[in-house]
A = this chain, B = another copy of it.
């Protein structure tokens, strides 16, 4: 984990900017920012507390506002654009890629959105409205429209002359798309193939006819899986009649992959995916309190189960002392299973044909773990409290709870997906409630049956 040259220099830049800001050397900061590439400026903004961020933003040359906005995460970007004048914002959006433009406009409150749209020039407005017409999170929403199309009968020689005349090819172009006279996609020609072809060959001879296409309404998660599985750099997007609409490039897909993978981790801890590390205190407190509220209800539920055994607890204080061990172990074991199944589902590995196998497997793991830890805890408790019966009781409860953990860890995400609830968001809370209630009930219940007169 050694810090390399690169991140060292990023941190040094950040430190230098912070130092200059706190000594009020705004002109100096402005100059430093001016010499940085847009992604680096975005990095500085992301790594800065929200208040200072507003000051920094003012010091960036307005000409680069659009480039920097493109690179920011949603939460940070929304914070900034809500404070910008609509006309200025419209100006910043001028040269933005279609996909970034659509995403950004969606983050705006309705009133500002209308103002920004009206401040745009005709061409940009049409482009924005078109991109917004596709559903959020679909292929249409993340595609770009800067494709170069060829006709099948044209020769390599003609194409090369045309390209030299044009003088510029969109960034990241790795293929040209071949369309017929009805604008339907009939093939693709990889850029490198033009370089090895002889000048009299036609596009028809060069093109791949069975190239894969992406339907415009495919969810972005599916798009990402395709790119990942087949190692694509770009892919054409088509409508239901195979008309070419645009292309999706790997750089946008990388963001989706990162977001999807982070989504599970953040959700399982009860955080918003886009939560900004440097958001103001009030905003963070508000966001996190929902989850804490849910957990309070869960904790009270567990307390109520204990409450049912008040009589037992008042006579045997030792039970109160050991009462947290079984629920705790069940929670950890259940969360292991839950996490594994959620990841398996995200990767598409869990399917109807192997579901049953997976549930049996996790039950078997639960049973085995149950035996191991039941024996161990029985020994520890029997030695510590000099009470064999107590050891037996906690071992039995452990066994029951480990099975409950394996079963609910494996079935909960599958059930929740069927009910269209995000398992990463709610799975962990429901699971812990189950393992708490089952654990306490099994332990105190058995103890009451066996130890109470």
- Listed in ascending order, the chain A residues whose CB lies under 8 Å from chain B are 1-2, 4-7, 10-11, 14-15, 18, 37, 39-40, 43, 46-49, 71, 160, 163-164, 166-169, 172-174, 191-192, 194-198, 215, 218-219, 222, 225-231, 233, 250-251, 253-255, 257-258, 261-262, 264-266, 268-271, 275, 277-278, 281-282, 284-285, 288-289, 291-292, 295-296, 298-300, 302-303, 306-307, 310, 313-314, 317-325, 327-329, 332-333, 335-336, 338-341, 343-344, 347-354, 357-358, 361, 364-365, 368-369, 372-373, 376-377, 380, 417, 420, 436
The answer to whether B230 and A233 touch across the interface, beta carbons within 8 angstroms, is: no
What chain B residues lie within 8 Å of A365 (beta carbons)? 281, 284-285, 288
The answer to whether B7 and A343 touch across the interface, beta carbons within 8 angstroms, is: no
* CA A348 to CA B439, docked complex, whole Å: 40
Given that A15-B352, A196-B164, A323-B320 are contacting pairs, would A6 and B225 also be in contact in the complex, using a CB cutoff of 8 Å?
Answer: yes
The answer to whether A219 and B4 touch across the interface, beta carbons within 8 angstroms, is: yes
What chain B residues lie within 8 Å of A336 (beta carbons)? 269-271, 288, 291
What are some 9 contacts across the A-B interface (CB < 8 A)? A6-B222, A48-B354, A164-B196, A169-B196, A262-B343, A268-B269, A285-B372, A295-B328, A306-B324
What chain B residues lie within 8 Å of A436 (beta carbons)? 324
What chain B residues lie within 8 Å of A215 (beta carbons)? 4-5
The answer to whether A265 and B271 touch across the interface, beta carbons within 8 angstroms, is: no
* CA A265 to CA B346, docked complex, whole Å: 13
What chain B residues lie within 8 Å of A269 (beta carbons)? 268, 335-336, 338-340
The answer to whether A292 and B369 touch across the interface, beta carbons within 8 angstroms, is: yes
Chain A interface SS verdict (over half): helix
Query: What's the least CB distance linking A405 to chain B, in Å?
Result: 10
The answer to whether B222 and A7 touch across the interface, beta carbons within 8 angstroms, is: yes
Residue from A197, A300, A310 whose CB has the most chain B CB atoms within 10 Å: A300
What chain B residues lie within 8 Å of A275 (beta carbons)? 340
The answer to whether B218 and A295 touch across the interface, beta carbons within 8 angstroms, is: no
What chain B residues lie within 8 Å of A229 (beta carbons)? 39-40, 43, 71
The answer to whether B306 and A321 touch across the interface, beta carbons within 8 angstroms, is: yes
Given that A303-B325, A317-B320, A417-B1 are contacting pairs, would A340 and B281 also be in contact in the complex, using a CB cutoff of 8 Å?
Answer: no
